[in-house]
Structure 1
């Protein structure tokens, strides 16, 4: 199992969660629960750097999260969260 968090110097991504609608928060939570179990499987063939995927989430793909996967310590660091209104 991997742990996840926000990149320490990127408070913008963490602050965005406070502004998201409930459906977006639920979709983000569901995504990150799956990422904890298998960040590579969730990443699939998403665009981006090999260890830094960009993954869509939400009922219609309205959200996008970018994260860095560190296999050694089994960590995932969220670098960006976006949501289209």
Structure 2
């Protein structure tokens, strides 16, 4: 069975562009493409996966409790709603 075409493209600064669907969290999608993202809780509590969002929109599947700036997202608890450009800390 063929995989469905990706719904969105995620441009990860200094890494490359990957195609993802919105059926998984952004963190899970990045991991599926072997893109390392630092994380701890996977539920939006700790903020360890805090990532800079340059372009695009995400939707949170659960309300994040960790502090994030206006230009940051928590990939562990959001899904893409458009093409994204992000900067994953290393």
Asked if TM exceeds 0.5, the reply is no
TM-score, with length taken from structure 1 = 0.30
Hey, which of these two has a bigger chunk of strand by percent? 1
Hey, which of these two has a bigger chunk of helix by percent? 1
